[in-house]
Amino acid sequence: MNIAVPKEIVEGERRVALVPETAKRLIGEGHTVRVEHDAGRAAGYPDDAYTVVGVEIAPEAVSLWGAADVILKIHMPAPLVSGGHEADLTRPEAPVIGLLQPLSNLAGVRALAKAKATSFSLDALPRITRAQSMDVLSSMSTVAGYKAVVLAAATLGKFFPMLVTAAGTIAPARVLILGAGVAGLQAIATARRLGAVVEAFDVRAAVKEQVESLGAKFIEDESTATADAEGAGGYAKELSEDQHQRELALIHKHIVDADVVVTTALIPGRPAPELITDAMVSAMRPGSVIVDLAAEAGGNCVHTRAGEDVMHGHVLILGPRNLPSTMPTHASQMFSKNMATFVRHIVSDGVLKLDMEDEITGATCITRNGEIAHEATRKALAGGGS
Protein backbone atom coordinates (compact mmCIF):
# COMPACT_ATOMS: atom_id res chain seq x y z
CA MET A 1 0.00 0.00 0.00
CA ASN A 2 1.46 3.33 -1.12
CA ILE A 3 0.62 5.96 1.51
CA ALA A 4 1.15 9.54 0.35
CA VAL A 5 1.46 12.70 2.45
CA PRO A 6 1.29 15.96 0.49
CA LYS A 7 2.41 19.31 1.83
CA GLU A 8 -0.50 21.35 3.20
CA ILE A 9 -1.27 24.37 1.03
CA VAL A 10 -3.77 26.13 3.30
CA GLU A 11 -2.30 29.46 4.37
CA GLY A 12 -0.74 29.40 7.83
CA GLU A 13 -0.90 25.63 8.25
CA ARG A 14 2.27 24.22 9.84
CA ARG A 15 1.16 20.69 10.69
CA VAL A 16 1.84 17.55 8.70
CA ALA A 17 -0.47 14.53 8.52
CA LEU A 18 2.19 11.89 9.23
CA VAL A 19 5.34 12.24 11.36
CA PRO A 20 8.47 10.10 10.92
CA GLU A 21 7.87 7.96 14.03
CA THR A 22 4.44 6.87 12.80
CA ALA A 23 5.65 6.49 9.22
CA LYS A 24 8.35 4.11 10.43
CA ARG A 25 5.71 1.88 12.01
CA LEU A 26 3.61 1.84 8.85
CA ILE A 27 6.69 0.93 6.79
CA GLY A 28 7.37 -1.87 9.27
CA GLU A 29 3.87 -3.16 8.56
CA GLY A 30 4.70 -3.49 4.88
CA HIS A 31 3.53 -0.16 3.47
CA THR A 32 5.43 2.31 1.33
CA VAL A 33 5.29 5.88 2.60
CA ARG A 34 6.01 8.87 0.36
CA VAL A 35 6.05 12.43 1.66
CA GLU A 36 6.19 15.58 -0.43
CA HIS A 37 9.39 17.62 -0.15
CA ASP A 38 9.35 19.89 2.93
CA ALA A 39 5.86 18.72 3.99
CA GLY A 40 6.98 18.37 7.61
CA ARG A 41 9.57 21.13 7.82
CA ALA A 42 7.31 23.72 9.51
CA ALA A 43 6.34 21.14 12.12
CA GLY A 44 9.95 20.38 13.02
CA TYR A 45 10.24 17.28 10.80
CA PRO A 46 12.71 17.97 7.94
CA ASP A 47 13.05 15.60 4.99
CA ASP A 48 16.10 13.95 6.58
CA ALA A 49 13.98 12.85 9.56
CA TYR A 50 11.74 10.95 7.13
CA THR A 51 14.41 9.44 4.89
CA VAL A 52 16.31 8.00 7.86
CA VAL A 53 13.28 5.83 8.72
CA GLY A 54 12.72 4.70 5.13
CA VAL A 55 10.27 7.29 3.80
CA GLU A 56 10.60 8.30 0.15
CA ILE A 57 10.60 12.05 -0.55
CA ALA A 58 8.57 13.16 -3.58
CA PRO A 59 9.85 16.34 -5.26
CA GLU A 60 6.40 17.64 -6.18
CA ALA A 61 2.69 17.04 -5.58
CA VAL A 62 1.43 15.74 -8.94
CA SER A 63 3.52 12.58 -9.02
CA LEU A 64 2.89 11.99 -5.32
CA TRP A 65 -0.91 12.07 -5.70
CA GLY A 66 -0.85 10.11 -8.96
CA ALA A 67 0.97 7.11 -7.49
CA ALA A 68 -0.87 7.02 -4.16
CA ASP A 69 -3.16 4.29 -2.86
CA VAL A 70 -4.10 6.40 0.18
CA ILE A 71 -3.62 10.16 0.70
CA LEU A 72 -3.29 11.53 4.23
CA LYS A 73 -4.01 15.23 4.71
CA ILE A 74 -4.84 17.75 7.39
CA HIS A 75 -7.30 19.88 5.40
CA MET A 76 -9.87 19.49 2.67
CA PRO A 77 -8.24 19.48 -0.79
CA ALA A 78 -8.00 23.09 -1.95
CA PRO A 79 -7.38 25.14 -5.12
CA LEU A 80 -3.77 25.11 -6.29
CA VAL A 81 -1.82 28.36 -6.66
CA SER A 82 -0.73 27.23 -10.12
CA GLY A 83 -4.35 26.63 -11.15
CA GLY A 84 -6.63 23.63 -10.87
CA HIS A 85 -7.53 21.86 -7.66
CA GLU A 86 -5.96 19.22 -5.41
CA ALA A 87 -9.10 17.12 -5.87
CA ASP A 88 -8.26 16.81 -9.57
CA LEU A 89 -4.98 15.09 -8.63
CA THR A 90 -6.75 12.19 -6.93
CA ARG A 91 -7.52 8.77 -8.34
CA PRO A 92 -11.06 7.51 -7.54
CA GLU A 93 -9.68 4.31 -6.02
CA ALA A 94 -7.23 6.18 -3.73
CA PRO A 95 -9.11 7.64 -0.74
CA VAL A 96 -8.26 11.03 0.73
CA ILE A 97 -8.31 10.93 4.54
CA GLY A 98 -8.12 13.97 6.80
CA LEU A 99 -9.90 16.43 9.03
CA LEU A 100 -11.92 17.67 6.08
CA GLN A 101 -14.74 19.40 8.00
CA PRO A 102 -17.14 19.02 5.06
CA LEU A 103 -19.95 21.10 6.55
CA SER A 104 -17.60 24.09 6.56
CA ASN A 105 -16.02 23.25 3.20
CA LEU A 106 -18.88 22.53 0.83
CA ALA A 107 -16.95 23.86 -2.18
CA GLY A 108 -14.25 21.29 -1.45
CA VAL A 109 -16.86 18.55 -1.19
CA ARG A 110 -18.21 19.52 -4.60
CA ALA A 111 -14.71 19.38 -6.07
CA LEU A 112 -14.12 15.91 -4.60
CA ALA A 113 -17.45 14.64 -5.93
CA LYS A 114 -16.76 16.10 -9.37
CA ALA A 115 -13.40 14.31 -9.43
CA LYS A 116 -15.15 11.08 -8.35
CA ALA A 117 -12.75 10.98 -5.41
CA THR A 118 -13.28 8.78 -2.36
CA SER A 119 -12.85 10.78 0.83
CA PHE A 120 -13.06 10.22 4.57
CA SER A 121 -13.24 12.90 7.25
CA LEU A 122 -12.33 12.00 10.82
CA ASP A 123 -14.42 14.80 12.30
CA ALA A 124 -17.40 12.61 11.35
CA LEU A 125 -16.31 9.69 13.53
CA PRO A 126 -19.08 8.18 15.64
CA ARG A 127 -18.63 8.61 19.40
CA ILE A 128 -17.98 4.95 20.13
CA THR A 129 -15.23 3.25 22.11
CA ARG A 130 -13.42 1.62 19.19
CA ALA A 131 -13.17 4.97 17.37
CA GLN A 132 -11.46 6.79 20.26
CA SER A 133 -7.94 6.07 19.02
CA MET A 134 -8.84 7.76 15.71
CA ASP A 135 -10.46 10.83 17.27
CA VAL A 136 -8.62 13.71 15.64
CA LEU A 137 -11.11 16.26 16.96
CA SER A 138 -10.30 15.34 20.55
CA SER A 139 -6.57 15.40 19.85
CA MET A 140 -6.70 18.86 18.27
CA SER A 141 -9.06 20.14 20.98
CA THR A 142 -6.50 19.08 23.57
CA VAL A 143 -3.90 21.25 21.84
CA ALA A 144 -6.30 24.18 21.48
CA GLY A 145 -7.41 24.08 25.13
CA TYR A 146 -3.82 24.11 26.35
CA LYS A 147 -2.67 26.86 24.00
CA ALA A 148 -5.68 29.07 24.80
CA VAL A 149 -4.64 29.28 28.45
CA VAL A 150 -1.00 29.86 27.53
CA LEU A 151 -2.12 32.74 25.28
CA ALA A 152 -4.23 34.18 28.07
CA ALA A 153 -1.39 33.92 30.58
CA ALA A 154 1.00 35.65 28.17
CA THR A 155 -1.50 38.45 27.52
CA LEU A 156 -2.97 39.05 30.97
CA GLY A 157 -1.23 41.76 32.96
CA LYS A 158 -1.32 39.61 36.10
CA PHE A 159 0.29 36.48 37.52
CA PHE A 160 -1.74 33.30 37.34
CA PRO A 161 -0.56 31.80 40.66
CA MET A 162 -0.72 33.30 44.14
CA LEU A 163 2.68 34.70 45.09
CA VAL A 164 3.93 35.58 48.55
CA THR A 165 6.76 38.08 48.15
CA ALA A 166 8.63 40.70 50.14
CA ALA A 167 6.49 43.23 48.30
CA GLY A 168 3.31 41.61 49.55
CA THR A 169 0.94 38.80 48.61
CA ILE A 170 -0.33 38.57 45.04
CA ALA A 171 -3.79 37.07 44.66
CA PRO A 172 -4.19 34.31 42.04
CA ALA A 173 -5.91 35.01 38.75
CA ARG A 174 -9.50 33.90 38.39
CA VAL A 175 -10.28 31.93 35.24
CA LEU A 176 -13.72 31.03 33.88
CA ILE A 177 -14.01 28.23 31.30
CA LEU A 178 -17.22 28.10 29.24
CA GLY A 179 -17.72 24.63 27.82
CA ALA A 180 -16.22 21.51 29.40
CA GLY A 181 -15.60 19.30 26.41
CA VAL A 182 -12.08 18.13 25.57
CA ALA A 183 -10.77 21.65 24.94
CA GLY A 184 -12.44 23.02 28.05
CA LEU A 185 -11.14 20.26 30.29
CA GLN A 186 -7.61 20.75 28.98
CA ALA A 187 -7.96 24.49 29.56
CA ILE A 188 -9.05 23.82 33.15
CA ALA A 189 -6.12 21.50 33.77
CA THR A 190 -3.64 23.97 32.30
CA ALA A 191 -4.99 26.96 34.21
CA ARG A 192 -4.89 24.96 37.44
CA ARG A 193 -1.28 23.91 36.78
CA LEU A 194 -0.42 27.60 36.39
CA GLY A 195 -1.98 28.29 39.78
CA ALA A 196 -5.21 30.05 38.85
CA VAL A 197 -8.53 29.71 40.64
CA VAL A 198 -10.80 28.11 38.05
CA GLU A 199 -14.56 27.95 37.55
CA ALA A 200 -16.24 26.16 34.67
CA PHE A 201 -19.70 26.07 33.14
CA ASP A 202 -21.33 23.62 30.75
CA VAL A 203 -24.93 22.99 29.81
CA ARG A 204 -24.32 19.25 30.26
CA ALA A 205 -24.64 18.42 33.94
CA ALA A 206 -22.89 15.10 33.29
CA VAL A 207 -19.49 16.82 33.03
CA LYS A 208 -19.63 18.22 36.58
CA GLU A 209 -17.63 15.32 38.02
CA GLN A 210 -14.89 15.73 35.39
CA VAL A 211 -14.62 19.45 36.08
CA GLU A 212 -14.35 18.96 39.81
CA SER A 213 -11.81 16.15 39.43
CA LEU A 214 -9.46 18.71 37.84
CA GLY A 215 -9.77 21.05 40.80
CA ALA A 216 -12.20 23.54 39.31
CA LYS A 217 -15.58 24.66 40.62
CA PHE A 218 -18.55 23.72 38.44
CA ILE A 219 -20.98 26.62 38.42
CA GLU A 220 -24.62 25.78 38.33
CA ASP A 221 -27.97 26.99 39.48
CA GLU A 222 -31.12 24.97 40.05
CA SER A 223 -32.98 27.25 37.65
CA THR A 224 -30.64 26.60 34.71
CA ALA A 225 -32.02 23.11 33.98
CA THR A 226 -28.83 21.76 32.43
CA ALA A 227 -29.55 18.06 32.77
CA ASP A 228 -31.28 17.66 29.40
CA ALA A 229 -28.78 19.64 27.32
CA GLU A 230 -26.70 16.70 26.12
CA GLY A 231 -27.26 15.67 22.53
CA ALA A 232 -26.19 12.75 20.37
CA GLY A 233 -22.66 11.52 20.90
CA GLY A 234 -22.22 13.46 24.12
CA TYR A 235 -22.12 16.84 22.40
CA ALA A 236 -24.07 19.81 23.73
CA LYS A 237 -27.32 20.50 21.96
CA GLU A 238 -28.97 23.82 21.26
CA LEU A 239 -31.01 25.18 24.18
CA SER A 240 -34.48 26.64 24.12
CA GLU A 241 -34.66 30.43 24.30
CA ASP A 242 -35.80 30.31 27.93
CA GLN A 243 -32.95 27.97 28.90
CA HIS A 244 -30.48 30.15 27.02
CA GLN A 245 -31.55 33.30 28.86
CA ARG A 246 -31.14 31.56 32.22
CA GLU A 247 -27.76 30.30 31.09
CA LEU A 248 -26.68 33.85 30.20
CA ALA A 249 -27.83 35.17 33.57
CA LEU A 250 -25.70 32.55 35.37
CA ILE A 251 -22.64 33.31 33.25
CA HIS A 252 -23.06 37.06 33.83
CA LYS A 253 -23.10 36.48 37.56
CA HIS A 254 -19.67 34.80 37.45
CA ILE A 255 -17.94 36.61 34.59
CA VAL A 256 -17.71 39.87 36.53
CA ASP A 257 -15.12 38.31 38.83
CA ALA A 258 -13.04 36.66 36.08
CA ASP A 259 -9.64 37.86 34.92
CA VAL A 260 -9.61 35.36 32.05
CA VAL A 261 -12.47 33.69 30.17
CA VAL A 262 -11.86 30.83 27.74
CA THR A 263 -14.87 29.87 25.63
CA THR A 264 -15.07 26.52 23.84
CA ALA A 265 -18.78 26.00 23.17
CA LEU A 266 -19.64 24.52 19.77
CA ILE A 267 -22.70 22.78 18.35
CA PRO A 268 -21.85 20.47 15.41
CA GLY A 269 -23.13 21.86 12.13
CA ARG A 270 -24.44 25.07 13.69
CA PRO A 271 -23.05 28.55 14.42
CA ALA A 272 -21.39 28.81 17.84
CA PRO A 273 -23.84 29.84 20.59
CA GLU A 274 -23.46 33.39 21.90
CA LEU A 275 -22.53 33.12 25.57
CA ILE A 276 -20.87 36.48 26.27
CA THR A 277 -23.00 39.55 25.58
CA ASP A 278 -21.99 43.18 25.29
CA ALA A 279 -23.29 43.79 28.81
CA MET A 280 -21.07 41.01 30.15
CA VAL A 281 -17.96 42.40 28.46
CA SER A 282 -18.71 45.86 29.85
CA ALA A 283 -19.08 44.39 33.35
CA MET A 284 -15.71 42.59 33.31
CA ARG A 285 -12.67 43.81 35.20
CA PRO A 286 -10.32 46.24 33.43
CA GLY A 287 -7.47 44.32 31.78
CA SER A 288 -9.44 41.08 31.51
CA VAL A 289 -8.85 38.71 28.60
CA ILE A 290 -11.29 36.54 26.64
CA VAL A 291 -9.93 33.74 24.44
CA ASP A 292 -12.70 32.54 22.12
CA LEU A 293 -11.95 29.08 20.70
CA ALA A 294 -15.23 29.17 18.77
CA ALA A 295 -14.10 32.18 16.72
CA GLU A 296 -14.07 30.34 13.39
CA ALA A 297 -17.69 29.24 13.95
CA GLY A 298 -18.88 32.78 14.68
CA GLY A 299 -17.62 33.07 18.23
CA ASN A 300 -19.12 32.65 21.70
CA CYS A 301 -18.58 36.35 22.42
CA VAL A 302 -20.59 38.97 20.57
CA HIS A 303 -17.44 41.02 19.89
CA THR A 304 -15.19 38.18 18.66
CA ARG A 305 -13.60 38.57 15.24
CA ALA A 306 -11.99 35.44 13.85
CA GLY A 307 -8.26 35.86 13.43
CA GLU A 308 -8.20 39.21 15.24
CA ASP A 309 -7.43 40.64 18.67
CA VAL A 310 -10.19 43.08 19.56
CA MET A 311 -9.97 45.62 22.36
CA HIS A 312 -13.52 46.36 23.45
CA GLY A 313 -13.54 48.96 26.18
CA HIS A 314 -11.10 47.64 28.77
CA VAL A 315 -11.31 43.94 27.74
CA LEU A 316 -9.07 42.19 25.19
CA ILE A 317 -10.86 39.56 23.10
CA LEU A 318 -8.73 37.05 21.20
CA GLY A 319 -10.29 35.17 18.29
CA PRO A 320 -7.51 32.76 17.25
CA ARG A 321 -7.77 30.65 14.13
CA ASN A 322 -6.35 27.13 13.94
CA LEU A 323 -4.59 27.05 17.31
CA PRO A 324 -3.33 23.49 16.79
CA SER A 325 -1.18 24.78 13.93
CA THR A 326 0.65 27.05 16.40
CA MET A 327 1.94 23.92 18.18
CA PRO A 328 2.72 21.91 15.05
CA THR A 329 5.20 19.40 16.45
CA HIS A 330 2.98 17.75 19.05
CA ALA A 331 -0.22 18.47 17.14
CA SER A 332 1.21 16.61 14.13
CA GLN A 333 2.36 13.76 16.37
CA MET A 334 -1.14 13.29 17.78
CA PHE A 335 -2.83 13.76 14.41
CA SER A 336 -0.47 11.24 12.84
CA LYS A 337 -1.28 8.49 15.32
CA ASN A 338 -5.02 9.03 14.80
CA MET A 339 -4.59 8.83 11.03
CA ALA A 340 -2.47 5.68 11.15
CA THR A 341 -5.10 3.96 13.29
CA PHE A 342 -7.77 4.80 10.72
CA VAL A 343 -5.57 3.50 7.91
CA ARG A 344 -5.22 0.21 9.76
CA HIS A 345 -9.00 0.12 10.10
CA ILE A 346 -9.62 0.29 6.34
CA VAL A 347 -6.59 -1.74 5.20
CA SER A 348 -6.29 -5.48 5.73
CA ASP A 349 -3.28 -7.56 4.62
CA GLY A 350 -2.03 -4.64 2.56
CA VAL A 351 -5.30 -4.30 0.66
CA LEU A 352 -7.82 -1.47 0.92
CA LYS A 353 -11.14 -2.87 2.14
CA LEU A 354 -13.94 -0.33 2.42
CA ASP A 355 -16.87 -1.86 4.27
CA MET A 356 -19.54 0.82 4.11
CA GLU A 357 -21.71 -1.19 6.49
CA ASP A 358 -19.11 -0.70 9.21
CA GLU A 359 -20.21 2.11 11.53
CA ILE A 360 -16.83 3.86 11.44
CA THR A 361 -16.12 3.54 7.71
CA GLY A 362 -19.67 4.38 6.68
CA ALA A 363 -20.01 7.34 9.02
CA THR A 364 -16.77 9.00 7.93
CA CYS A 365 -17.15 8.56 4.16
CA ILE A 366 -17.89 11.96 2.59
CA THR A 367 -17.69 11.31 -1.16
CA ARG A 368 -17.54 8.15 -3.29
CA ASN A 369 -18.22 7.31 -6.94
CA GLY A 370 -19.10 10.90 -7.74
CA GLU A 371 -21.77 11.04 -5.03
CA ILE A 372 -22.03 12.74 -1.62
CA ALA A 373 -22.11 9.82 0.81
CA HIS A 374 -22.31 11.83 4.04
CA GLU A 375 -25.94 12.57 4.89
CA ALA A 376 -25.44 15.82 6.81
CA THR A 377 -23.22 17.20 4.05
CA ARG A 378 -25.72 16.15 1.41
CA LYS A 379 -28.47 18.02 3.26
CA ALA A 380 -26.27 21.10 3.60
CA LEU A 381 -25.57 21.12 -0.12
CA ALA A 382 -29.25 20.59 -0.90
CA GLY A 383 -30.01 23.59 1.30
CA GLY A 384 -27.90 25.83 -0.88
CA GLY A 385 -24.80 25.98 1.34
CA SER A 386 -21.62 27.36 -0.19
CA 48 – CA 25 distance, rounded (Å):
17
Q: Which residues of 58-68 are buried (b: 16+ CB within 10 A; e: fewer)?
A: beebeebbeeb
Which positions are catalytic?
A: 127, 132, 135, 138, 235
Selection from 274, 285, 265, 283 nearest residue 174 by Cα: 285
Q: Residue 299 in contact with residue 292, Cβ under 8 Å?
A: yes
CB-CB neighbours of 118 under 10 Å: 24
CA 341 – CA 362 distance, rounded (Å):
16
Selection from 317, 231, 306, 226 nearest residue 277 by Cα: 317
CA 281 – CA 255 distance, rounded (Å):
8
Classified as helix, coil or strand, 170 is strand
DSSP 384: T
Classified as helix, coil or strand, 156 is coil
Tell how strand 315-318 and strand 217-218 pair up.
unpaired
